[in-house]
Structures are given as structure tokens and as C-alpha cells.
Structure 1
């Protein structure tokens, strides 16, 4: 009986990886992702109503971005897709800087395809989601007191190192 209990204990700890993001910031990123998906979908649909092939390609890409954003950030919106929960679980395992690079890259591509106001505004919130994840990857800002202590310790070790070499050369 002790073997199943030992196997069950590490599972919750593995699920709750503490990446230093507070709960409200995580929800802010998710909300930005859902809003970015909605704006990409609407702007992409509007962008497809044209005769220019690059605008149509950018619009289709934007709608694909919208689907991926909503699939990763709010899988309950995609209950009709069988693999939605698996994709969302895999996306949750990514580090914040990986999500930032992925979301920003997805948002920049349609703008490169067709630089119009619709693609810029439609991808702005999706790009902002990537920026939010990128900022969370930077970590928490330290306080000034601990920074001053670190600087003082560095200065002391540098001075001690310099005085030791000078005394060693003088002797």
C-alpha cells in the first residue's frame, strides 16, 4: 500500500511548478490571450474581405493565431475540439519566455505579410500577450536595500583582492 501513496504524492508537486508568477498576473496573461484571440479573429475575418492575396493570407493566418491563442489560454472555449485539453496542458508546461517568443512571433508574421491598419490593430493585443509573458520571464524586481548590500559586498571583495595583490607584489 505504501507504493501507490509514494507515487501519488509527487504528482501534485509536479503540477504546481512555481515559476514566480502571481495568480493575478497569470490571469491577466490569460485574459490578454483570450482578448488577443478575439481581436485576431475579428480583424482576420475583416482582412479576408478583399481581392488582394497577401491580405487574404494575412487574414487566414490571423484567424489561425486566434484559434491557437484561445486553444492555449482558454481551452474550455474549444470543447468541440478533442485535443484541446492536451494542447492546453502542453502549453501550460512551457516557460514564460517560450510563450512570449511564440505569441510575439505569431503576431508579427501577418504584419510582415500585409502591413495594414487592420493587421496592426488586430495583432496588437496578441503581441501584448507575448510581451506580458516576456515580462514575467524577467522575474520579480528586487528592493533597493538588498541591491545596495550586494554592491557593498562586491566593492569589499574587490578592495580585498586588490590589497592582497599589492601586498604580494611589494613583499
Structure 2
């Protein structure tokens, strides 16, 4: 009788979800999302105190980014918004690469709209949240043994060629 296979990381005591992400990395992404929301909100508010219309538009977009980050990553911060839990549940169903593309795109737009130090620094943590989700979408790094097996298999298929072994054929 063989023992049942354990999921990757279970032997080290780390809980791994269906995408292969550990619990602490999920919490790190959520913390980055909350901090990104705080930085977007504060920088967006500061950006709205100006006379330039593009800066005001970028500031409003940054405050909208902060609201979306809070809705998706920390719905308890928006407990008086009726649909907060529904949005958070739907955001949790998204794959990591989808969240990464959404958060990075959301953070880049105000910088394109108004390239100032305030918009750069305000959106940096929100962009970093997207990068963290993107890294989790890439998955775990493989171990050396499986990489060596893959290289050996690739070498064998290259030596055999498309019609079979090359060794016995005349030149």
C-alpha cells in the first residue's frame, strides 16, 4: 500500500490553494492591496488640490482605484457599501493573472494621464500589488531534479530525430 501523495508545500506545513499559492503570499498580496489603496487615496486627494484639469482627473481616478482596491482586497473597510461582499467574492474567483492585469492597468492610467511625482508615488504600491499577483500567476520554481529530467528527455528526442535513431544510418 502506498501513502497518498501530499500537495506541494504540505510537508513544510504551508497551506497551498488550487493555484499553488501559499497562505502567507495571499495575505502579502492583500496587504499590498490595502497599502496600495491607502497610497492611491491619499495621493489622489492631494492631486485634486490643483488648478490643472488633468491633475484633477488623475486624482479622481486614483481615488477610484483606491475604492476598487478596498472593495476587492479588504471588503471589511467598505462595510457600509451593500455590494462590497459580492464584489470581493467575485474578485476572489478571478485568476492571479487577471488580477495582475487589472491592478497594473488601473495603476498605469493616472500616470499616463498626468505624469507627476504624486501620481507616480501614489500608484507605485497599487502597481506592486499587480506585480505580486503576476508573480503568483507564474507559479512555483521547479526543482533541479525535474529540470534535469526535462533536459535529458529533450536531449534524447533531439538525438533520435523525426524518423528514429541516427546511429545505424549511413552518411
Fold shared per TM-score above 0.5 = yes
**What's the counterpart of residue 25 of structure 2?**
25
For the residue of structure 1 that corresponds to 2:164, the secondary structure is: helix
Cα deviation code 1:40-95 (max 9, x no counterpart): 00000000000000000000000000000000000011010000000000000000
**What's the counterpart of residue 159 of structure 2?**
159
**What's the counterpart of residue 10 of structure 2?**
none
Q: Contact 2:159 / 2:165 at 8 angstroms: preserved in 1?
A: no
Q: Which moved more, 1:148-157 or 1:47-56?
A: 148-157
Q: Contact 2:160 / 2:166 at 8 angstroms: preserved in 1?
A: no
Query: What is the aligned-residue RMSD (CA, Å)?
Result: 2.0
Question: In structure 2, how many angstroms separate the alpha carbons of the residues matched to 1:105 and 1:68?
Answer: 13
Gaps in structure 2 of 5+ consecutive residues? 1-15
Q: Which moved more, 1:158-167 or 1:28-37?
A: 158-167
For the residue of structure 1 that corresponds to 2:128, the secondary structure is: helix
**What's the counterpart of residue 134 of structure 1?**
134
User: Any residues of structure 2 matched to 1:22-171 within 5 Å, and which?
Assistant: 22-161=22-161, 164=164, 166=166, 170=170
Question: In structure 2, how many angstroms separate the alpha carbons of the residues matched to 1:89 and 1:139?
Answer: 23
Taking structure 1 as the reference length, what is the TM-score of the superposition?
0.86
Taking structure 2 as the reference length, what is the TM-score of the superposition?
0.86
Question: In structure 2, how many angstroms separate the alpha carbons of the residues matched to 1:50 and 1:59?
Answer: 10
Q: Which moved more, 1:16-25 or 1:141-150?
A: 16-25
Q: Which moved more, 1:34-43 or 1:151-160?
A: 151-160
Q: CA deviation at 1:169?
A: 6.0
Gaps in structure 1 of 5+ consecutive residues? 1-15
Q: CA deviation at 1:145?
A: 2.0
Q: Which moved more, 1:143-152 or 1:57-66?
A: 143-152
Runs of 4+ in 1 over 3 A off after TM superposition: 165-170
